[in-house]
């Protein structure tokens, strides 16, 4: 099955700096790559996603890039703010509902 | 709020107890999911229901028994659990199986003594 690896496991950044989280996947048939944000005491919430026919997608301060050849995708958060502190999960999907998740990155934004 | 609610939020049970977790979605979705979230591990898909029919049982031990009486409600019945079953159990829903976007509830933090 699909194997998704996520790095780093923890990330501390100064407020205003950028944060980058990287994920690799094993199955070249994967075609959907969502990113979820999980705040303390809450369930994961989708923040951005990308499909395999697109190389980059932006939504305000967050962006995701996909390199199908290398089988990796990344989440970029610019101008980080304290409310960006959370656990972020990447995932990859070969088909429909089956999401294979990474182990998560705990992001801490220092004021 | 994501439109997916879970009760209880916290549960402590002994290994011989029987308890149930409840999930309700107010989004008009047709597919519902149970995930197990353990510390520092990827989310593990446990069960998937579509239009009240189970379509996925991801090799989950029989001490976990799901029930989906209608498309808005999903239960996870627990009996004779083990301490290693302690985790956060997340419910999610999506419009359909072909819809990748899943909406998660806040989870039930389960502790098995």
Q: For chain A, how long is the longest CA-to-CA vector? A: 41
Q: Cβ A97–B43 below 8 Å, yes or no?
A: no
Q: Cβ B102–A102 below 8 Å, yes or no?
A: no
Q: Is A30 on the interface with B (CB under 8 A)?
A: no
pLDDT of residue B16: 87
pLDDT tens-place string over residues A6-44: 999 999 999 999 999 999 999 999 999 999 999 999 999
Q: Is residue A46 within a helix (H) or strand (E), and if so which, with residue range?
A: strand A45-51
Which of B42, B94, B104 minimises the CB distance to A103? B42
pLDDT of residue A2: 85
* Residue-wise DSSP of chain B: --SEEEE-SEEEE-TT-EEEEEEEE-S--SEEEEEEE-TTS--EEEEEEETTEEEEE-S--TTEEEEEEETTEEEEEEES--GGG-EEEEEEEESSTT----EE---EEEEE-
Q: Which residues in chain B have Cβ-Cβ distances shorter than 8 Å to A102?
A: 42
Q: Is A104 on the interface with B (CB under 8 A)?
A: yes
pLDDT tens-place string over residues B21-79: 999 999 999 999 999 999 889 999 999 999 989 998 888 999 999 999 999 999 999 99
Q: Is A90 on the interface with B (CB under 8 A)?
A: no
Number of A/B CB contacts below 8 angstroms equals 59
In the predicted structure, residue A64 carries a pLDDT above the cut 90:
yes
pLDDT of residue B7: 97
Residue of chain B nearest A40, judged by CA positions? B106
Q: How many CB atoms lie within 10 A of CB B65?
A: 15
Interface of B with A in 73-112 (CB under 8 A): 90, 92, 94, 97-107
Q: Is B10 on the interface with A (CB under 8 A)?
A: no
In the predicted structure, residue A96 carries a pLDDT above the cut 80:
no
Question: If pLDDT is split at 50, 70 and 90, which confidence band does A82 have?
Answer: very high
Q: Is A72 exposed, middle or buried (0-12, 13-18, 19+ CB in 10 A)?
A: middle
In the predicted structure, residue A62 carries a pLDDT above the cut 80:
yes
pLDDT of residue B99: 77
In the predicted structure, residue A81 carries a pLDDT above the cut 80:
yes
Q: Is A23 on the interface with B (CB under 8 A)?
A: no
Average pLDDT over every residue of A71-99: 94
């Amino acid at each position: 099955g699909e194997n998704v690896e996520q790095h780093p496991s923890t990330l501390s950044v100064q407020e205003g700096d950028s944060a980058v989280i990287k994920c690799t996947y094993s199955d070249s048939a994967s075609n959907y790559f969502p990113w979820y944000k999980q705040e303390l005491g809450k369930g994961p919430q989708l923040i951005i996603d990308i499909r395999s026919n697109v190389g980059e997608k932006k939504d305000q301060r967050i962006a995701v890039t996909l390199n199908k050849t290398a089988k990796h995708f990344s989440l970029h958060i610019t101008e980080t703010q304290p409310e960006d502190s959370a656990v972020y999960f990447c995932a990859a999907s070969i088909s429909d509902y089956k999401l294979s998740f990474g182990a998560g990155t705990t992001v801490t934004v220092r004021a | 709020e994501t439109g997916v609610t879970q009760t209880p939020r916290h549960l402590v049970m002994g290994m011989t107890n029987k308890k149930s977790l409840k999930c309700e979605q107010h989004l008009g979705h047709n597919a519902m999911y149970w995930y197990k979230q353990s510390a520092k591990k990827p989310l593990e898909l446990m069960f998937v229901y579509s239009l009240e029919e189970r379509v996925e049982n991801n090799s989950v031990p029989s001490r976990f028994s799901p029930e989906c009486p209608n498309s808005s409600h999903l239960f996870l019945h627990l009996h004779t659990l083990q301490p290693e079953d302690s985790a956060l159990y997340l419910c999610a829903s999506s419009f359909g199986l072909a819809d990748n976007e899943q909406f998660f509830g806040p989870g039930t933090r389960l502790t098995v003594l």
